[in-house]
Structure formats: structure tokens, C-alpha cells
Structure 1
């Protein structure tokens, strides 16, 4: 009992410390005209939560009491509030009451929870059409397995039939297990999971020769314990293709596809004019191949069928020749010559000195590789036929890491440009002299995540970017910003902007947020993200320095496929110093002292990285 009392008192003490901090450093709250502001959720939001979700905002007077749907909200000294409320399937009205001794105000809004996230009621015999698979029209080859899924009354018997044929039993998935499927169900090469509720039924269908050419509709039948029956028809169809049919199409615009596999980063390139096999469809996406073991998904608008393609039974192969390398003060160039436009894949692992390039649709083994490169950065080029139509080239470099790379197309030739590290005098008073860094204040035109006071990422990332710009310029760096308060740039234009300005490094500043249903009080910390292996050392160095400056919990540095981190030509990272929707951390984000600490940490981390990898 004494131990429980001590633990309870410690929790109370910790909470009081947070309140004192908020009182001392309370930021300016952004109020609407009437002074009452429910910041989140917005009216009409779809909330992906199954148990509870958060409601937060601010109010104009300290003598107010705030409740949400009858639950008392946590109030903070800067006149903000946070409340966790229970949710259920479908529409939910949120009534937020602001009450003082002299006045009151009620904010009403509606949100919606998708029904597939919740268990279907056992009171009814029902098939819930909100979660079914196939979830769109698909095209599939004979012999390929596809999952058939439906959600309905738990503990029942579920069957599926194809075009009203023989009924086949489906099994109810164990809701306590996390099913993470990868191509088991046909579709994108990314994991996805079933709702963790009872009443999700799974069956499998493998089309055979008799199904070739058919467009099949899936029918569901559910039989409850009391023998009540419910039926449903999946509105999406399955088109079964002949495995022997050859459908060759041309890529009509340059496409780069990124993927992580076994610790390696894979960049697969399809230049305009590349011929590929089209052998499956998933809604508006088509599955393309240039190898039996390699499948990719592209939008059907990226493919063109020409008359000459219809006559082909195979994608033509091409000889591959390796031209001599050349270099200048900033780059090493390696050129490959082919007769046709060919697909290729660049593989980069944690060994930052080595790159592997795989070329497909190759007819013959290239001649003896030339070793007449004269740049000390490039130490070796080695190649071999990897399989019947693929040629593998291994590039080895002498430095700890290559700064980055780009791929350029010249007619049908492919030129790889590997970038050298900037030449800097790190012992001078301006150690970053001669280096250009692109700083990206995250979001804008969109707002990004919001805090309790009403601030958002779009607003708060700009002062951090300006302060970091000032600190790095004092160290001699040339700094460009992707946007300011007055200017905007779309997400995918930002990496292009950095490359067009010949930047040496890309730093994107954001603040973290939480998914619906997670209590913001319980999650705090600093995190950093990267994607390509050559950006990992920068992420690690900056993250370590930021943690030392902020003193917040360590949420780690992680590889994540984020648009601004996919730049290959330079080290690129995204930092999230704190959670903007966490009351304690939102107050820090607005605090100029914290802003200076974060930027000082990022700047020091950049210097640490350059010293270790110049």
C-alpha cells in the first residue's frame, strides 16, 4: 500500500512540474473571434480509431471549465485543453462545453469512424460491405492465388462462390494475431493488415485453365448460429488472364521506383521508351515485369500500346557496352551504351563504398571492362552476367562514402554521376565555406499537424529554418530555403528545387504528430528520418546532437520512404524535434530558447558528419 501511495505521489509531482513549466512559458494562444476554439478534430473528419480519440483546443478565460461529451478535459495554464473520449462505429457528435461562472458556450461538430474498424454486432446476421477483398477490379494470371475476404457477424459460417458456382468455406481470422500480408492477396508489394476484430473471414481462389478469359464476380453467403442467412455480391470483378499471352507495352515517361529489401535501398529506373511485360492489374494500376522475379506497379496512364508492340512475343534484348569513365573536380561519370532503352536497378547497402547496378534485357556479355579511369575516388569496376538476360556491374569507391549520385539519359545511353564530397577547410573560422545547404520548412501550402494553441507546422517550421540558416551562414555555408511565410512549394518540387540549385545537403524541418486514438500526454520525444544509406550518417550525427540539446526522450532515427528523403544526389534528412500536439512539447516548440537549442544541435550535427565523412 505504501509503495502504491509513493508511486501515485510521484506521478502527481511529475504532472505538477509540467503544469509549472506550462505556466512559466505559456505561448500566445490563437483564438477565433468568439474566443472558443476546438482545434481538433475538424467537423466531418474521418477518425481511424477504435477505442477512443483526442479532442483539443483552447479557451479565452482562466476561470473556464471544459468538458467533451460529458468528460472533464485536462486544462493547462496556457488556456488549452485536452480530452480523450470514447468512440464507436459510424457518426459521432462531439459536444464541447465551455462553462464559467458568468457564461457558457457549446461547440458542436460531427466526426466519422469507419465501420470496418469495429466488430459487427452479433445481434444481426449481416455482411459488412465496408471491408471486402478484392477492393477494386483486378486482372490476374491463371495459377496465381488471390485472397477473398469479407467481414460480418462473428462466430458464423461464411462461404464464397464465383459467379454463383460451388460455395467454398472461408475461415474466420484470429483477431488477436496481426496478419501482415505481402502479395498473398495479390496487389501492391507493400504489407497491409486485417482489422483486429472478430468476424473477418478469409478464403483463397486460384484460377485454372477453365477460368481463362472470364470476368468473375464473387458472391458471399453468411450463415449465423440460428441459421439466419445474409448474402452479398462483391461489386469488383476478377479478370483471369492467359499465362501464355504476351502483352508488351512501352513506358511513356521516366519513372523512378524506390524500395527497401534486405537492408538494401533499391532504385529501379524505367526511362521513357522502355519495353515491359504487362501481366496484371489492380484498379488503375498495372503490374509490369522485365523478369519473372521482378514485379512493379505503375499507373496505367504511364503505359502505351503501339502497333509494333502487338506483334512482339518477347521484349528485345540489347548489347551493353561500358564506356570509359571521366571526372571533374566535383563528380565521377560512368557511361553505359545500349542499342535499346533498358531498365536498370541501383542497389546500395550499408557498405557506403559500394554500389551494384543491375541491367536487364541484355543480349550478350559486355567486353573486357576498361580500367582506364583516372580518378582516385573510383577504385574498381567489375561486371558479370547474373542470369540469362541481366548484367551486374559492381562499382567500388575509395572514400568512406559517396556523397550522392544521379542518373542521366543521353539518347539510349545511361550516365551515372557520382558526387564528391565538398572540399572544405574545417579548421577555419568558417568551416562550411563553399558548401550549399537547402533547408526545407515543412508543409505549406498545407498546414501540417496542429497543436493545442492552434499553431501548426506550416507556421512554426519557418522560424526554425530562418534561425538554422543564420547559424549555418555564420559557419560559412550558402543557404537556400524552399519557402518562406509568403512563398509556397509543393512537396515533390522541393527535392527538385534543391537539385536545381546544386545543393550539397537537404534538411527538412517538421514537428511530430500522433495518429487518432493515441493519448498525446503519453508520447514525447525527438526523431530523425532518412532513406538512402548515404544519408544515414548525417541523420545519426544530427539526431545525437539534437537529443543532447533538447533533453527530450529519444524516439530514434529511422529509414522511412518520405518524399523529401528520396533525393539520391545528396545526403537528405527530415528532423522532428518534438511533438506539436503534446502539451508540454508544444510549449517548448514556441519557446525561443528551445528553438535555438534545436538549431544549434542540427548545425553541430552537420559539422560532425562532415568531419567524419569528408
Structure 2
């Protein structure tokens, strides 16, 4: 009898413990700031077998208990209400997030300049010849103007502008059409900077007058100063690597090593604008540079001589300059040429000296593109495998690599393959069951590494286990190890606003022209092997893809945020299929090398 009572007590306790299903909302987290979206996704898990609704909408629950839903969002403080039901009871969960407001229609019977709509909204310092562009959103149909300080007003015109497309959302959908909704009340204006205005930390004011003559003034505009180009402000890179952008907070332009000398000719918020040539500029974070004392100048460098030298696997170009300069290399799409651009350089040379023993470089031509830019065009006798540049005092050394000798019976034998398990110390994307992308990436990398070692390759992992590695350290480690190929392994997630229920699956990314064939052969194997959607082959301006010393690609075999794909990624058999697909794609790539 006592034994039966104990069993009953245990059953009652177990029943109480399961009084309601469990709800775990993984994304978005509490208090998250979400961009100006009207629809977006949420993900998490409930007790398997539960019925789930989100804000009154029924949501499908995968057999593991994972869920992914695409729901409407409203701007401002927004509450996501979840309700889960199973035989044991009902559970609810509320999650508060903040959704940014997009451009919205303003009633014509109001009079306002919309708070937060002023652009730019940061400190500016502009040189003579630049044009200042400003805009804001306000009541439609008015007369708008702006002034620098309390100076004369400058006319602004109502633009009736379309909403700006979100490139990330477009990249994660099958649509090639951006939202072209026209928003009235967007006013824009500009003025040419003469340089003699005497502006020093002047506030920009905005004015709007309605049809009845009522007016409103906004004094929260940016601070503007004249940049004195006569100062010729120079700085040098103080970090191990400076990241130059195409514009503040936009895409990568180039990476520069410590000690590179740069000329500054403007300030935009946290960025310096760099004058690379008469026609080219770039942007770099201010904290990456160390300013030289006022008055310190660096005349344009002189290009004196170019000569070649044979290397065991390729060729080396020595480019003699009077001082180090900023440079970029652009490999040709034909795989047998490249162009090097030297900024703030004037050519003062009559010869290119060729090493008779060097059979890799066919021809070198140079031209002065403008008063501060020189281009070198190099044609090659064979396919380019990779390149690197480095300064030895004032000598810029460009090393050009030919493909390795491939044993067609054992194509991986003696090759050095760098595998980059994406992320860590950050988690990367997180699945509905809280599966960490960094862990899956490491598991797939190990499986691929074992296959490669079995075929005679040496393998370097850019990080092992839970070890952390910075994004710029990873290609540097591979290059320092003298890798022949770099494969970066990730798994995907969508940006806010995209619908991963419609767009998921595998994708492959490359940047350098000589990496494209490797990306294509691996992607074809994904198409043959993985039971998922084809998310696409991408040219990707990504750090790991931009590695120059060897063919390098980044793969995203699945979307870890999609319940079915997360379940597959947790399956060792599926991980093996991914690794095998990459392995076979690499092998096909190597066997095409002559």
C-alpha cells in the first residue's frame, strides 16, 4: 500500500511539473531594436506536440518543437504574444520589442519637421569644391529651406522620394524589385562649399512654411565646418590593419597595413575622408589613424623602376618608390592578368626590367592616369592562383602565385588547406532549439578536415573548438601558414524583414575572380547532394572571401533558423553529406588545373 501511495505521489508531482507546455522565444530577444519593417520573423521552440499561436495567428510547430513564424510588426513598442496549448494545459509569453518607424505620410493639415528624419545627423567638415546635401521629412506641400548658422536661407525642394531599398532583404529574397512606395513631404537641398565661408562648428537649421504662412524651425541639424585643404593633413595607420570603406558605414574598399601614410580631407562623424587621387576617395574610422603634427607634409611618391624575379611558384615584382603609397590590385576576369593602382604617385621611370628566368610574367605596361595615380597592367603566361603585397622599406613587393602542381591520382596530396569554422567567440546565428551556429560550423569543419587529411592534405583550422578568433585574424593565419586554399564554413540566417519561410537553403560566396570556379564546383555539389532550396551563388564582398593569397570561398550549407534545416544540421549523417559535397567540389576544381 505504501509503495502504491509513493507511485501516486510521483505521478501527481510529474503531472504538476507538466502543468503547461514550455515556450522559449529565441528571437527577437526582450527589448530588441528592430529596423523599420512591416513584417519579420520570430523563432523559438515549444513542448513538442503543442499547438502555437502568435498574436492570434496559428503557427506551425515542427516535430522537434521548433517554430519559425513570419508575422506583421507595428512601429514603436510592439508586443509579441505567444500562446501554446497541449493536453497538460496552456502557457503564454509576452515579448516586448521596439520597431523603428519608416518614412510615413504626414497629414497635410499639420505642420512639423519629423523628429529623427534630418540627414545628415552628424558632425561634418568639408573642403572647397564639395557639395553639402541635406534632407528632412515634413508636412507635404510646404516651402522648405536650410541655413548654415543664421546665414542666408537656401531653398529645398519637395522630392516625393521612394523608400530606400534594403539590399540585405533583397539579397535574401527572389524578388528583384524594391519597394517603390512614394512618400510625400521629403525635402532636399544642397550647396557648393566655396571654402571661404568661415564656417567653424556652425549648426545647420531647417525651416518649413505651410500654405497659410505658418512656420516651424528645427535646430537639431548637424554641425558643419570648413575643411582647410591648404593644411594638407596627413596621418598614418596605427592599427595592425585599417579598414577603408566606400563611404561611412558602407562596404569594404581595401585593407591597409600599419604605417601606411594617408592624406585626410574631410570629416563625417567618426570617419575621416581620405584623398587617394584626384578622382578617388575612401573612408576610415578616426581611431584607426594617428595624425602627424600640423605642417608635416608628404609630396607625391615617385615610381622609379619595376623589375621581375623568378620564384619557385610564380614571379615577384619589385616596384621601387620614393616612399610607400596606397595601392590596390585588381585581378582580371580572364585569370591571366591584373592591374595595380598606385595612389598619390607620379611615374618617373623609363624601364621595366625582366628576369630572363621568369616565365610567368609576360608583359608589364604603365600609365599615368591622372596627376596622382599610376596604373600598372600585368599580363601572365598562365593562370593566377593568388597574390600578396608587402613593403620592404620603399620597395613594394608584389608576389604572384601560379597554381600548385596537382597529382591527378591524388589531387589533395601535399596541399595545405585552411578551414575556417565561422564565428566564435560570438555564437553566430542561433536556431529555434538554441543550436549555436559556431558549434555546427566546427563539427562540419572537423568532418571535412578528416576527409582531406585522409587524402594527403595538411589542414589548418583558423580556430579550434570554442577558441575565439577575430575576423581579420582568420585569413591572416591562413596566409601565414602559406595555405593553398581557404574554405570558410558558416550556416545562414535572415536579416529582419526577410522571410526565411520562402527563402532558405544553401549558398556559396566568392570575391576574387580566381576563386569563382572553386565556388561553382562546390555549389554544383550542393545542388546534387543537399535536399534543400538553392539560395544562390554570390559574389560576396566579405572579409574571408577577399583573401588574396589563394582561392577562398565561404559556404552557407543551410539556414540554421529554419526548424527543418536546424534538425538536419544536428544530424551527423547530414553534416557528413555537407562535408563530402565540399570535398568533391574541391576535388573537381583541382582536377581541372593543368
TM-score by length of 2: 0.86
Aligned to 1:298: 284
Q: 2:41 is matched with which residue: 54, 59, 62? A: 54
Aligned to 2:305: 321
Aligned to 1:426: 408
| Structure 2 CA distance for partners of 1:98 and 1:77, relative to 1, 3 Å | same
Q: What does 1:131-280 align with in structure 2 at a 5 Å threshold? A: 131-154=117-140, 156-176=142-162, 178=164, 197-208=183-194, 210-224=196-210, 229-242=215-228, 245-253=230-238, 274-280=260-266
Is the CA contact 2:264–2:274 (under 8 Å) kept in the aligned structure 1? Answer: yes
**Per-residue Cα deviation, 1:148-180 (whole angstroms, up to 9, x for no partner):** 111234555443233234444433333446589
Q: Which deviates the most, 449-458 or 124-133?
A: 124-133
Is the CA contact 1:72–1:83 (under 8 Å) kept in the aligned structure 2? Answer: no
Is the CA contact 1:349–1:533 (under 8 Å) kept in the aligned structure 2? Answer: yes
| Structure 2 CA distance for partners of 1:302 and 1:76, relative to 1, 3 Å | closer
Q: What does 1:145-544 align with in structure 2 at a 5 Å threshold? A: 145-154=131-140, 156-176=142-162, 178=164, 197-208=183-194, 210-224=196-210, 229-242=215-228, 245-253=230-238, 274-307=260-293, 310=295, 312=297, 315-328=299-312, 330-399=313-382, 401-427=383-409, 430-544=410-524
Is the CA contact 1:267–1:345 (under 8 Å) kept in the aligned structure 2? Answer: no
Q: CA RMSD in A?
A: 3.1
Aligned to 1:589: 569
| Structure 2 CA distance for partners of 1:43 and 1:395, relative to 1, 3 Å | same
Report the CA distance between 1:364 and its aligned residue.
Answer: 4.5
| Structure 2 CA distance for partners of 1:349 and 1:218, relative to 1, 3 Å | same
**Per-residue Cα deviation, 1:494-535 (whole angstroms, up to 9, x for no partner):** 111211222111111111211212232211232111111121
Q: Secondary structure of the equivalent of 1:115?
A: coil
Report the CA distance between 1:343 and its aligned residue.
Answer: 2.7
The unaligned stretches of length 5 or more in structure 2 are 1-17, 168-177
Q: What does 1:119-130 align with in structure 2 at a 5 Å threshold? A: 119=105, 125-130=111-116
Q: Does residue 569 in structure 1 map to residue 554 in structure 2?
A: no
**CA distance in structure 2 between the aligned counterparts of 1:390 and 1:519, rounded to whole angstroms:** 45
Is the CA contact 2:244–2:283 (under 8 Å) kept in the aligned structure 1? Answer: no
| Structure 2 CA distance for partners of 1:276 and 1:522, relative to 1, 3 Å | closer
Q: 1:39 is matched with which residue: 3, 7, 26? A: 26
Is the CA contact 2:79–2:96 (under 8 Å) kept in the aligned structure 1? Answer: yes
Is the CA contact 2:25–2:43 (under 8 Å) kept in the aligned structure 1? Answer: yes
Q: Secondary structure of the equivalent of 2:391?
A: strand
Is the CA contact 1:66–1:97 (under 8 Å) kept in the aligned structure 2? Answer: yes
Q: Secondary structure of the equivalent of 1:564?
A: coil
| Structure 2 CA distance for partners of 1:88 and 1:228, relative to 1, 3 Å | farther
| Structure 2 CA distance for partners of 1:117 and 1:493, relative to 1, 3 Å | farther
Is the CA contact 2:321–2:394 (under 8 Å) kept in the aligned structure 1? Answer: yes
**CA distance in structure 1 between the aligned counterparts of 2:165 and 2:444, rounded to whole angstroms:** 41
Report the CA distance between 1:282 and its aligned residue.
Answer: 0.7
Report the CA distance between 1:612 and its aligned residue.
Answer: 1.8
**CA distance in structure 1 between the aligned counterparts of 2:190 and 2:328, rounded to whole angstroms:** 33
**Per-residue Cα deviation, 1:447-491 (whole angstroms, up to 9, x for no partner):** 112222221311211221111112222222111222233322122
Aligned to 1:606: 586
**CA distance in structure 2 between the aligned counterparts of 1:486 and 1:580, rounded to whole angstroms:** 19
The unaligned stretches of length 5 or more in structure 1 are 1-30, 182-191
| Structure 2 CA distance for partners of 1:199 and 1:103, relative to 1, 3 Å | farther
Q: Which deviates the most, 231-240 or 382-391?
A: 382-391
**CA distance in structure 2 between the aligned counterparts of 1:395 and 1:350, rounded to whole angstroms:** 13
Is the CA contact 2:48–2:64 (under 8 Å) kept in the aligned structure 1? Answer: no
Is the CA contact 2:515–2:551 (under 8 Å) kept in the aligned structure 1? Answer: yes
**Per-residue Cα deviation, 1:198-221 (whole angstroms, up to 9, x for no partner):** 443222222335524443322123
- Following TM superposition, the consecutive aligned residue runs of length 4 or more in structure 1 with deviations greater than 6 angstroms are 192-196
| Structure 2 CA distance for partners of 1:449 and 1:173, relative to 1, 3 Å | farther
Report the CA distance between 1:249 and its aligned residue.
Answer: 0.7
Q: Which deviates the most, 595-604 or 249-258?
A: 249-258
**CA distance in structure 2 between the aligned counterparts of 1:559 and 1:160, rounded to whole angstroms:** 41
Report the CA distance between 1:302 and its aligned residue.
Answer: 4.0
**CA distance in structure 1 between the aligned counterparts of 2:528 and 2:143, rounded to whole angstroms:** 57
**CA distance in structure 2 between the aligned counterparts of 1:500 and 1:320, rounded to whole angstroms:** 30
**CA distance in structure 1 between the aligned counterparts of 2:260 and 2:417, rounded to whole angstroms:** 35
| Structure 2 CA distance for partners of 1:153 and 1:73, relative to 1, 3 Å | farther
| Structure 2 CA distance for partners of 1:221 and 1:378, relative to 1, 3 Å | same
**CA distance in structure 2 between the aligned counterparts of 1:463 and 1:123, rounded to whole angstroms:** 61
